[in-house]
Structure 1
Amino acid sequence: MRNKNILITGGLGFIGSHIANELLDDNQIVIVDNLSTGNLNNINNPNHENLKIIKEDIRNVDLDEVTSDIDYIFHLAAMASVPLSIDKPVECNDINLNATVNLLKSAVDNNVKKIVFSSSSSVYGENKNMPLKESEPLMPMSPYAASKASCELYLRSFYDSYGLNYTVLRYFNVFGPGQDKNSQYAAVIPNFISAMLEGNQPEIYGDGEQTRDFVFVKDIIQANINAAKSDYNGVINIASGKKLSINQLFDIVKRTLGSDLEPKYLPKRAGDIKHSLADTSKMEKINFEIDHNNFEKQLEETINWFKTIL
């Protein structure tokens, strides 16, 4: 992708900043981020001549002005935490759904070519039809998941009503360099890595037999770019298509680090699902696939990054 005007909402966050860093040299990038979870340090060159950063909440910024000359939107700005959404459901709806509808309206008014929306496997809830196909009924178990599912419906409706092109990417469990280990709601891999590097006992919620489908952040970035360039309108799972229990994950991290620490088991968290595994066959719609043999190498790369910041 070259010589395009691109808007990245949530562009200072974990995934958004990776997209910005990948595209910045060859495109004009506008980032909207309120710094609630994002960090300017995530951008390799925040003073890049191709970059404009608007440090505002997506609910407050003038979206008509921001999208006036935009070709593509990568929409990642969100309250991206299941536990936080349970604590603050109204705010979650306002940030995730209402702001998205406003963004879609501005995209239509300004003839944006396409929007790529970051959704989540949480929309499937406790659906037990593994591996999960995109056609499965949505069963959100948290306000966060419900807001993502609602956004997906709005994207489809704006395509049908106004011709706004879109691709929804349902991420499964993303990990990689740049992930925030300081958040109260940090994901399991950075929690394990940071705890063991700091000599602390890692925490596992539930019995650890819950399974997840992990996907590396660099694969997520390529999927976003491929989706923007494709002519596919619809929903696609972005995942490895392989399942791993939290206990198995812990053993791999422990072995990779050479640690002798054992986990501490805590009660299951509200809103957490038991199993998650994607059907990845539709990734071919955006000419994308994942190398299934790289997980431990990717985990090692992630660990090495965490070593540089701890």
Structure 2
Amino acid sequence: MNNSSVQLNSNYHILVTGGAGFIGSNLCEALIKNGNKVTCLDNFATGKRENIATLMNNPKFNLIEGDIRNLADCQKACEGVDYILHQAALGSVPRSINDPITSNDVNVSGFLNMLVAARDAQIKRFVYAASSSTYGDSKSLPKVEDIIGKPLSPYAITKYVNELYADIFSKTYDLETIGLRYFNVFGRKQDPNGAYAAVIPKFVMQLMNHESPVINGDGSYSRDFTYIDNVIQMNLRAISTSNKEAVNTVYNVAYGERTDLKELVSLLKEYLSDFDAVIKQVEIKYGPKRQGDVPHSLASIDKAKNFLGYDPLYNIEAGLKEAVKWYWKNLK
């Protein structure tokens, strides 16, 4: 992992909510590696104990089993903390369509609890996972932070409401906030199983098992796939910036290039066939389009570069090679 260009004070005590999840656990590892004290708050609804197993005996790591829907848990987790990286959420557009109430409870009410706890504990800065789904039906490409459309799913609504609440808290209570609109993050520790598994780990597992991956639609939909180490870099920059003009706003977190699903599967087959030549022959199947899906996603990362010095080191090819290696080693 190369985030060496980010100078983060190792004396900071940082709370990572959802710290046993895919992105959260990677952030916990990076922070511990930097020498920081880390508190992880997770209820293990989607997070996994194995994601933080290597950290459990570290004296600088503290796990609090709790739920952001419970204000007391949020307050307890904020004790003695300098900064918050808020990753806890129920992801997935289809999940929010199937169960909008739970998505709203976690992503809106839970988010508000965390903001209130952060305000009361006088946290220095609240950095939170926002989402590219906020762009909704906006047709413009690349996506620029101040031009959004109408949300296309309950999940997208919840993530937009997060931004509105963060803005109000920064204006009303002087709580510094930074929202990071993640674009299709992938990489080590992303769960390939379950009904709402993200497309990359799901396809990787299917190909490793010589099963045909099913692409929703004709494969022309495209995404700005973003490797986990780019996301870690952005979170560290969001904490460490002393530029007052860089706070109380939102940023795209992406690489700034788009890849369609056909091309994605082709790259996965190529990289996985280095480990197992049979994978090259696996057939690809096509299914119906998925409700609530945005056809194309591509981020402008100019704002992140200009204000935070963001410099993503992994394009889709470099990121996929790393991810494939990890999956082959850990899940085969």
Which segments of structure 1 move beyond 4 Å, counting only runs of 4 or more?
none
Q: Out of 33, 40, 56, which is 1:46 matched to?
A: 56
Q: Out of 238, 242, 252, which is 2:267 matched to?
A: 252
For 2:5, the equivalent position in structure 1 comes to none
Q: After superposition, what is the alpha-carbon deviation per residue over 1:56-91, rounded to whole angstroms, capped at 9, x for unaligned?
A: 222124322321311000001101111111111111
Moved more, 207-216 or 44-53: 44-53
Alignment RMSD, CA only? 1.2
In 2, Cα distance between equivalents of 1:70 and 1:247? 44
Structure 1, unmatched stretches of 5+, are none
Q: Out of 261, 278, 282, which is 2:299 matched to?
A: 278
Does residue 287 in structure 1 map to residue 309 in structure 2?
Answer: yes
Query: 1:4, CA displacement in angstroms?
Result: 1.1
In 2, Cα distance between equivalents of 1:58 and 1:91? 12
Does residue 36 in structure 1 map to residue 45 in structure 2?
Answer: yes
Query: 1:287, CA displacement in angstroms?
Result: 1.3
Does residue 13 in structure 1 map to residue 21 in structure 2?
Answer: yes
For 2:152, the equivalent position in structure 1 comes to 141
In 2, Cα distance between equivalents of 1:228 and 1:138? 28
For 2:277, the equivalent position in structure 1 comes to none
TM-score between the two structures when normalised by the length of structure 2: 0.90
Q: Out of 169, 177, 189, which is 2:180 matched to?
A: 169
Q: After superposition, what is the alpha-carbon deviation per residue over 1:173-199, rounded to whole angstroms, capped at 9, x for unaligned?
A: 111111100121111111111111111
Contact persistence 1:40–1:46 (CA under 8 A): no
Contact persistence 2:180–2:251 (CA under 8 A): yes
Contact persistence 2:112–2:165 (CA under 8 A): yes
For 1:22, the equivalent position in structure 2 comes to 30
SS in 2 for 1:30: strand
For 1:157, the equivalent position in structure 2 comes to 168
Count of residue pairs brought into register by the alignment: 309
TM-score between the two structures when normalised by the length of structure 1: 0.97
Counterpart AA for 2:29: N
Q: Out of 258, 282, 286, which is 1:265 matched to?
A: 286
Please list, as runs of the form range in 1=range in 2, the aligned pairs for 1:88-237 lying within 5 A after superposition: 88-230=99-241, 231=243, 232-233=246-247, 234-237=249-252
For 1:242, the equivalent position in structure 2 comes to 257
SS in 2 for 1:119: strand
In 2, Cα distance between equivalents of 1:109 and 1:291? 37
Q: After superposition, what is the alpha-carbon deviation per residue over 1:193-249, rounded to whole angstroms, capped at 9, x for unaligned?
A: 111111111111111100100110011011001011113221100111111110111
Identity among equivalent pairs (%): 39
Structure 2, unmatched stretches of 5+, are 1-7, 274-279
Counterpart AA for 1:295: I
Counterpart AA for 2:271: T
